[in-house]
């Protein structure tokens, strides 16, 4: 069955519930679980045996494996459909290693957030921590931003600086950054789902 125009019909419900999307071990998911934010509707992963899905099940949350194929449009649809089916009005990316297509941004306008281990716009893309070390910066950090159609580019919601120490390698610096992530992300998600974030041009205003 094919419905013409279906791909443009994905619309998130008006809801303060949210889906968490994660591919990896799910430490940011765990921080959101531990913060007991009301409205965590479902955890979605593209990796069937990810730590994220395990953590979700352990927390008694719906955990959905959505396999990723070659068709990004279809992948995006599937993820959005699962999120919407669980009543999510927002998508929280927590180490989700897939790129969502434009349909997701249309379906969840200013309702998709991502966390990135650098002070954007510095060091977008993969291996941000290694990039920062290679560049020799003395300060790096973490950014939470709205997702737009460019990678690691949307309006910045919150940032925290993290010092780079002389003896740092990727692991030690990433661990220091993660500590800030786990404190920051629950605050931002709570602000998002309670409607406290407004985007005005490129600036995000907290109310």
Catalytically active residues are: 116
Q: Which stretch binds its own copies (CB under 8 A): 3-11, 83-91, 100-108, 120-128?
A: 120-128
Residue 150 found at the interface with its own copies (CB under 8 A): no
Q: How far is the CB of 26 from its own copies (least distance, A)?
A: 25
Selected from 9, 151, 161, 165, the binder of its own copies by CB under 8 A is 161
Widest distance between CA atoms in the chain: 60
Which one among 101, 117, 155, 186 touches its own copies, defined by CB under 8 A? 155
Contact pick of 21, 141, 147, 176 for its own copies (by CB under 8 A): 141
Q: Choose the binding region for its own copies from 12-20, 43-51, 88-96, 136-144 (rule: CB under 8 A).
A: 136-144
CB-count exposure of residue 69 (10 Å: 0-12, 13-18, 19+):
exposed
Cis check for the bond before 177: say yes or no (omega within 30 of 0). no
Q: List CB contacts of 94: < 8 A, sequence separation 6 or more.
A: 20, 21, 22, 26, 28, 29, 32, 52, 115, 185
84: helix, coil or strand?
helix
Cα-based distances in Å from 26 to 47, 55, 56, 178: 11, 7, 9, 11
- Report, in Å, the least distance between residue 90 CB and its own copies: 20
Q: If binding means CB under 8 A, how many residues of this protein chain bind its own copies?
A: 25
User: Are 32 and 185 spatial neighbours (Cβ–Cβ below 8 Å)?
Assistant: yes
Q: Taking CB under 8 A as the rule, does residue 139 contact its own copies?
A: yes
Q: Contact residues for its own copies (CB under 8 A)?
A: 119-122, 134-139, 141, 155-161, 166, 201-206
């Amino acid at each position: 069955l094919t419905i013409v125009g279906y791909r443009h019909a994905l619309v998130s419900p008006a809801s303060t519930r949210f889906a968490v999307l994660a591919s990896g071990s799910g430490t940011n998911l765990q921080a959101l679980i531990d913060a007991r934010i009301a409205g965590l509707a479902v955890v979605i992963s593209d990796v069937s045996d990810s730590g994220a899905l395990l953590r979700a099940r352990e927390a008694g949350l719906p955990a959905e494996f959505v396999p990723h194929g070659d068709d990004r449009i279809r992948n995006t649809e599937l993820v959005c459909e699962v999120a919407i089916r669980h009543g999510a009005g927002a998508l929280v990316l927590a180490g989700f290693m897939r790129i969502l297509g434009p349909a997701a941004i249309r379906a969840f306008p200013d309702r998709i957030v991502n966390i990135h281990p650098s002070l954007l716009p510095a060091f977008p893309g993969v291996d941000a921590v290694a990039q920062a070390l290679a560049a020799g910066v003395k300060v790096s950090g973490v950014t939470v931003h709205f997702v737009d159609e460019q990678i690691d580019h949307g309006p910045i919601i919150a940032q925290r600086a993290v010092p780079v120490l002389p003896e740092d390698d990727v692991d030690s610096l990433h661990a220091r950054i993660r500590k800030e992530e786990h404190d920051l992300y629950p605050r931002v998600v709570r602000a998002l789902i309670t409607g406290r974030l407004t985007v005005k041009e490129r600036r995000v205003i907290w109310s």
